[in-house]
């Protein structure tokens, strides 16, 4: 079921998915998409995860994405902090959700980690796929290529199917990542305060980050399980869906059964 939530003067697109095999008293999974993502770009992955884990899924398009309110101004360097520490808590309160699992991809993974370490709220667990905790040149190089593909190739037309305002979605991500002030962005300081278990998944062929991202999460946080996938790029849930879903289902089952 898709709904529209009025939140802090903005319309936020939200999707609620029930599990085909609901687990008693299981908390929901909150899905946080990548820097160019939306509800529709997850495709059937949230439903598959809900069915495999027994948890209901709540999927939403952040401000500037999908059918949510487009941006009215350029993003700030701390846009992921704002989402993690202000917008996400407001959304959880509006939906009366307590102690959820967070499942984030790329920017969504970073937002999940900031929320877990800085929002002061209890979580059942955090699952991150290809998260960023610091900025690497490999990411910036490929974000520059994405800008070229958007201006000169077919990336704009492909993204336009998923976003109410495709320029808002793309420029809001691309421009701030390539801003000189973003080069020093780093969220490692949030990791020691994360009290819940973390499952961190990354592809060995990730074009936006090296395995140093996962290694720093394991070094900084107290309870981390790493999954490194061969033959997998920046979107593990698309390149290796079976392995990813199996890892998530095992992680969630262990926590629900303890």
Domains assigned to the chain? 2-256 (3.40.50.1820)
Query: What percent of the chain lies above the pLDDT cut of 90?
Result: 98
pLDDT digits (tens, 9 = 90+) for 118-148: 999 999 999 999 999 999 999 999 999 999 9
Task: Give the model's pLDDT for residue 258.
Answer: 81
Average pLDDT over residues 37-53: 98
Task: Give the model's pLDDT for residue 211.
Answer: 98
Question: Pick from 121, 114, 75: which is nearest to 98 by CA?
Answer: 121
Q: Is pLDDT of 1 > 80?
A: no
Average pLDDT over residues 69-75: 95
Task: Give the model's pLDDT for residue 21.
Answer: 95
d(CA 140, CA 178): 7
- The pTM assigned to this predicted structure is 0.98
Residues 60, 87 contacting (CB under 8 angstroms): no
Instruction: Output the CA torsion 186→39→97→22 (10° steps).
Output: -120
Indicate the average pLDDT of the chain: 97
Task: Give the model's pLDDT for residue 129.
Answer: 99
d(CA 102, CA 125): 7
Average pLDDT over residues 102-120: 98
Question: String of b and e for 98-117 (b: at least 16 CB within 10 Å)?
Answer: eebbbbbbbbbbbbbbbbbb
Task: Give the model's pLDDT for residue 246.
Answer: 98
pLDDT digits (tens, 9 = 90+) for 172-231: 999 999 999 999 999 999 999 999 999 999 999 999 999 999 999 999 999 999 999 999
Out of 5-9, 64-68, 132-136, pick the least confident: 5-9
Task: Give the model's pLDDT for residue 72.
Answer: 93
């Amino acid at each position: 079921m898709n709904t529209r939530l009025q939140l802090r003067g903005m319309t936020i697109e939200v999707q609620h998915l029930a599990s085909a095999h609901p687990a008693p008293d299981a908390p929901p999974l909150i899905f946080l998409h990548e820097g160019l993502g939306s509800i529709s770009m997850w495709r059937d992955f949230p439903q598959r995860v809900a069915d495999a884990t027994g948890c209901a899924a709540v999927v939403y398009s952040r401000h500037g994405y999908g059918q949510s309110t487009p941006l009215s101004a350029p993003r700030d360097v701390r846009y992921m902090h704002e989402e993690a520490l202000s917008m996400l808590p407001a959304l959880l309160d509006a939906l009366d959700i307590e102690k959820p699992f967070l499942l984030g991809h790329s920017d969504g993974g970073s937002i999940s980690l900031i929320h877990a370490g800085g929002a002061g709220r209890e979580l059942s667990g955090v699952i991150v796929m290809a998260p960023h905790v610091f900025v690497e040149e490999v990411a910036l190089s490929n974000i520059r290529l994405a800008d070229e593909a958007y201006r000169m190739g077919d990336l704009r037309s492909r993204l336009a199917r998923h976003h109410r305002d495709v320029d808002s979605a793309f420029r809001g991500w691309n421009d701030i990542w390539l801003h000189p002030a973003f080069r020093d962005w780093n969220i490692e300081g949030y990791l020691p305060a994360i009290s819940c278990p973390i499952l961190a998944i990354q592809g060995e062929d990730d074009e936006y980050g090296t395995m140093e991202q996962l290694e720093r999460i394991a070094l900084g946080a107290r309870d981390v399980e790493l999954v490194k996938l061969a033959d997998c790029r920046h979107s593990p849930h698309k390149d290796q869906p079976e392995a990813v879903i199996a890892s998530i289902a095992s992680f969630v089952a262990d926590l629900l059964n303890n």
